[in-house]
Structure 1
């Protein structure tokens, strides 16, 4: 009897062959995306690579080297950043700024989303009003708040004195005890509508059957919120939190327009520290090193965001 011929063993395609096949299948899509990728590479990638190179070179233009050369100095710029008297102070202020503003924006956004999810007359109009703070340009919002915070003519001092909360007006942006809190308030007012919109979308995706079943079982409104709403909002909440953190890490405009990092550098977040190093002290090598540190921090949270969104897609 003839022996049965052995069946060929299936071999899985290599990684290169898989990628080549995927590239062929999606070549039209890649052609459409190519102009955007090239534009981003020119506008973003080149400056990042240039800054990374500058962070290892001598770029103290206030004390130039003869011939205008920029020799490599290794890790000196990074050592100068970390050894600065204000770096860790700025890092601490940035951390406090992020924690307070992100938590407040999420809580306010969640409360607003819950209220806007209730049916009432004029709900569409109120939803449109909520978006206004987010839509107003940062500089415009800051200039309005500078007038509102004004020591002599500001409406905030006027209202607080009339309500007998204050006996004397306060220079909110000029007092080291209130400047950071005043900047945080503007950031919270400007950013909470984004959290509200995202969380409202998450609330509307929760099946109504769950609430009906919980009501039949005798669950209170608070118990339904704790056992249904919060767990079902978890994927959206993670994305909102990480996005707010990433955006707040690189925040510059609000604090700079309001206080410029003062008074006495009590509002000097990391971005303003980098700005001072580059455009006040003209030490662009030190500024580039600080920028790279900030970039690493931002990339870490961006990767967490991408991981969270991917996990949400798989659930």
Structure 2
């Protein structure tokens, strides 16, 4: 009779037991972070819930109802927002602002990343130097540019006059034709270093063998950029684009400090429209409805960003 293999003296833990043990361990971990979760819920979720509730109520502070009540009025606030010419203007300004600044920040960031990926003397210093605009606080940057844009004493007007590019000083922040462009310039100057850093990291992850093989095959630098760099940078580029869009949607500080939304609402972003509606006219119901619309737009791009990052991790 052939000898049989000895039976194991013990069996492996069942899948159910392992999952129960894992759940128990996670419960302990969740217990430790419960205070943090509660704090985040109070700080972030409660204001969103309160704003959502206010968007369906009558909340005009300087025209109170007897007794101070805030009755439910359905979608009336949303209707007033969508029918408001000021809202439609701010929506158009916001989308134009997003499109121009995101495209320019990405383009300048890509150009800077390509240059910084080339070996040259002092490259480390230049890499550190390029971060300065991103590190400067918004208010400080805006105050500096207000002085530079000044109609009488600004350095920008002085340079343009000496170069004979203009015949008279330009009120960059006081003219509805130039104010938005001036604000966009500050946004691009301050934001392009982030795109440069992200894209530089993407460039350095591309295998050098691909470029060497392309060089052997006789490909030009432009062909290498178009056939290798652009496709290999696509995952990083998508993430950078979406992240810049999400950040720009809620932009407030730069434009408000520079122009306050003027002149003639030429630079009034959605965020500034919401602020003015709530704290200038005290119509908090309409402001809350505008805030919910802005939140909805932000959530759409946030979901796209999360999907892009997940696809990048899986790919």
Q: What TM-score does the superposition give when structure 2 sets the normalisation length?
A: 0.92
CA distance in 1, matches of 2:68, 2:91: 33
Shift of 1:51: 0.4
CA distance in 2, matches of 1:30, 1:304: 28
* 1:284 lines up with 2:284 in the alignment: yes
Change in Cα spacing, 1:153 to 1:52, as seen in structure 2 (3 Å) is same
Which residue is equivalent to 2:198?
Answer: 198
Change in Cα spacing, 1:25 to 1:202, as seen in structure 2 (3 Å) is farther
Change in Cα spacing, 1:33 to 1:189, as seen in structure 2 (3 Å) is farther
1:178-227 CA distances to partner (integer Å, 9 max, x unpaired)?
00000000000010000000000000100111111111111111000000
Change in Cα spacing, 1:19 to 1:44, as seen in structure 2 (3 Å) is farther
Shift of 1:106: 0.1
Shift of 1:32: 5.4
Which residue is equivalent to 1:8?
Answer: none
Change in Cα spacing, 1:239 to 1:83, as seen in structure 2 (3 Å) is same
Which residue is equivalent to 1:62?
Answer: 62
Which residue is equivalent to 1:211?
Answer: 211
CA distance in 2, matches of 1:31, 1:172: 56
Shift of 1:128: 0.7
CA distance in 1, matches of 2:181, 2:70: 41
* 1:102 lines up with 2:102 in the alignment: yes
1:52-85 CA distances to partner (integer Å, 9 max, x unpaired)?
0000111100101111111111111101101112
Which residue is equivalent to 2:52?
Answer: 52
CA distance in 2, matches of 1:152, 1:300: 44
1:9-33 CA distances to partner (integer Å, 9 max, x unpaired)?
xxxx99xx99977643544554554
Which residue is equivalent to 2:252?
Answer: 252
CA distance in 2, matches of 1:104, 1:154: 24
**Residues 272-281 or 32-41, more deviating:** 32-41
1:251-300 CA distances to partner (integer Å, 9 max, x unpaired)?
00001000001000011111111011100100000000000000000000
Change in Cα spacing, 1:269 to 1:26, as seen in structure 2 (3 Å) is same
CA distance in 2, matches of 1:263, 1:112: 33
Moved over 6 A (4+): 17-21
Change in Cα spacing, 1:23 to 1:179, as seen in structure 2 (3 Å) is farther
CA distance in 1, matches of 2:295, 2:116: 36
* 1:237 lines up with 2:237 in the alignment: yes
Which residue is equivalent to 1:77?
Answer: 77
CA distance in 1, matches of 2:263, 2:292: 26
1:138-217 correspondence runs (5 A):
138-217=138-217
CA distance in 1, matches of 2:21, 2:100: 48
Change in Cα spacing, 1:83 to 1:21, as seen in structure 2 (3 Å) is farther
2:241 is paired with a residue whose SS is helix
1:267 is paired with a residue whose SS is coil
CA RMSD of aligned residues (A): 1.8
* Structure 1 spans left out of the alignment, 5+ residues: 1-12
* Structure 2 spans left out of the alignment, 5+ residues: 1-14
- Count, aligned residues: 301
